[in-house]
Each structure stands twice: as structure tokens, then as C-alpha cells.
């Protein structure tokens, strides 16, 4: 695409945004953001027993069954067992925004059971959230 065409597209976008107003002026809403950290090492063998994709598939099925919006990331980290032994493992960090804490706790309990964990870590924080919409609507 020629530079003049890119400049024209940019100009059109700017004009469209001015026509509908600044989308970021929408007032933020206070919500609760929650993360569940789930290790993939088995509590008894202290080794990852299945491929990461299998755990991800199960995690998605659980969230869909509960009907909650979610996102997740696969990360690598370390921790100390109750007996003092240090371990490194692959973990999944599951994130929710605006999901009730009792539902989060039920999901965390299910993940702890299905992933054969001693425990999972749940963090909660108050966040400000807003949605920003495109000025262009899909047909």
C-alpha cells in the first residue's frame, strides 16, 4: 500500500473517532480480578505426569462447564514444598474478572483435585476495568 493510501486511512480513522467521541472516556467500573496458579507437577510423584496441552484442555472444559469468562497463560516457576524441598515446574495461571469468589473457589478446588495438587494459589485484587470499542462495526 502506498504511503499516501496509509495516510488517508489514518486520517479517516482519526475523523471517525472524533465523530463518535473518545472511546476511552468511558468511566471505569470497579471489579474483582482473580488469578488461580495451578502447578502441573503431581503432588505425590512431584513430576508432571501428562503433556501440558492435556492440562490446558481440562482447564478449558472446567471453565466452560462453570460458564465463566476466563483467560490463562502457561508459565514456568519455582516454589518450596511444605517439607522444605525446592521445586521448579510448569504452571497455569488462570485469570478471571468479575467472577464471584465462591465460583472461583469451586473452580480452584476442582483444579486442585483434577490436577492432583497439594494446593493451588488464589490471588484477588480490586481492579478498574472498561471496554473500548472500535469505531468500525463489522458487517
Q: Any idea where the domains of the chain sit in the sequence? A: 29-129
**Cβ pair 37, 118 in contact under 8 A:** no
Q: Does domain 29-129 have CATH number 3.40.50.300?
A: no
Q: In the prediction, which pLDDT does 38 show?
A: 95
- pTM to 2 decimal places: 0.75
Instruction: Give residue-wise pLDDT tens across range 30-39.
Output: 899 999 999 9
Q: In the prediction, which pLDDT does 15 show?
A: 59
Supply angle C-alpha 32, 111, 116, rounded to 5: 145
Q: Is the pLDDT of residue 137 over 90?
A: no
| Spatial separation of the C-alpha atoms in residues 32 and 116, rounded to whole Å | 27
Q: In the prediction, which pLDDT does 101 show?
A: 95
Instruction: Give residue 7's pLDDT band: very low, low, confident or very high (50, 70, 90).
Output: low
The most distant pair of C-alpha atoms in the chain lies apart, rounded to whole Å, by 66
Q: Is the pLDDT of residue 9 over 60?
A: no
Q: In the prediction, which pLDDT does 1 show?
A: 47
Helix residue ranges per DSSP H, 21-130? 52-66, 101-114
Amino acid at each position: 500500500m502506498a504511503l499516501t493510501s496509509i495516510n488517508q486511512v489514518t486520517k479517516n480513522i482519526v475523523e471517525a473517532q472524533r465523530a463518535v467521541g473518545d472511546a476511552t472516556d468511558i468511566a471505569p467500573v470497579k471489579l474483582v480480578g482473580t488469578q488461580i496458579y495451578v502447578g502441573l507437577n503431581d503432588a505425590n510423584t512431584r513430576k508432571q505426569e501428562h503433556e501440558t496441552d492435556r492440562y490446558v484442555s481440562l482447564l478449558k472444559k472446567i471453565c466452560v462447564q462453570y460458564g465463566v469468562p476466563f483467560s490463562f497463560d502457561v508459565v514456568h516457576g519455582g516454589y518450596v514444598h511444605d517439607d522444605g524441598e525446592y521445586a521448579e515446574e510448569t504452571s497455569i495461571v488462570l485469570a478471571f474478572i468479575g467472577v464471584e469468589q465462591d465460583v472461583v473457589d469451586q473452580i480452584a478446588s476442582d483444579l486442585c483435585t483434577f490436577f492432583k495438587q497439594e494446593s493451588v494459589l488464589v490471588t484477588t485484587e480490586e481492579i478498574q476495568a472498561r471496554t473500548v470499542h472500535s469505531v468500525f462495526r463489522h458487517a
